[in-house]
Amino acid sequence: MDTLSPKFRVVAPNLYGYGNTTAWSDTKTQTLSDQAALIDQFVHNQNDITIIGHSFGGSVAMMAALRHRDRVKRLILIEPNPFYLLAEHSRSAGYKEAANLRNVIKQNGDIGSWEIAAEYFADYWNGEGSWRAMDELRRTKFVSALKPNYHEWDCVMNETTPINMWKAKLPKNTSLLFSENTVTSILELQALFRSKIPQWQYHKYAEGGHMAPLTHPHIINPMIEEILSSTPTKDN
């Protein structure tokens, strides 16, 4: 936000369970539409909006852009994770990775073994040994921040919007950023989007992996700024 705020009006809403946004209730299965509804208040009476989202935030950004397609002119997705699309198109290796991670989070979350879930999550997204490298304070914060992820898996595994709907309804000015050395599940999603929605713009970066927006902002932020500063193509 600090990088973009001097040039653009930036709003960064928190999803369920983060910041001052309430945690999700265990009595209802969470959907992408539930999360995207949090953005409704920010787009009211606004036009020419750009939505930026990373990972799960990228999946929510897609749904928010679908809900407000008349107001959203541009979408920037950094390794979005709508894993249900892999199941639809039988890309089994990446889907299996995602399903395994989901199962670890759900099963250990159910019994309160959050450190086990956190180790698997950290090592999957950040690389083997990432959890062991954290000090105790960092681990405690990581576990706390992970808990909303329990419900987010329902969103990205149970969504039913077909890829042809995303192709037809999301902005032509959609940019997808991805790492050359990211995990298989994300690489397969990127390949699927590229094959099914070739009119989007695809940008790859060499360093940082999936968590590059957090660990390598000096790479990601200039890419975002360049996209925001370019002239958008008119949708047909």
Give the per-residue pLDDT at 235: 58
92 or 185, greater pLDDT = 185
Q: Which tens digits make up the pLDDT trace of 2-16? A: 677 777 788 899 999
Is the pLDDT at 236 greater than 70, yes or no?
A: no
Beta-strand relationship, 72-78 and 174-179: parallel
Give the per-residue pLDDT at 91: 61
- Residues near 58 by Cβ (< 8 Å), separated by ≥ 6? 77, 78, 79, 80, 81
Q: Which tens digits make up the pLDDT trace of 118-171? A: 999 999 999 999 999 999 999 999 999 999 999 999 999 999 999 999 999 999
pLDDT band at 44 (very low <50, low <70, confident <90, very high): confident
Q: Please tell me what DSSP assigns to residue 210.
A: G
H or E element, residue 177? strand 174-179
CB-CB neighbours of 32 under 10 Å: 26
Q: Please tell me what DSSP assigns to residue 54.
A: E
CB-CB neighbours of 66 under 10 Å: 19
CB 67 within 8 A of CB 41: no
CB 4 within 8 A of CB 221: yes
pLDDT band at 97 (very low <50, low <70, confident <90, very high): very high
Instruction: List, in order of start, the domains of the chain with CATH numbers.
Output: 32-91+159-229 (3.40.50.1820), 92-152 (no CATH)
For the entire predicted model, the pTM comes to: 0.94
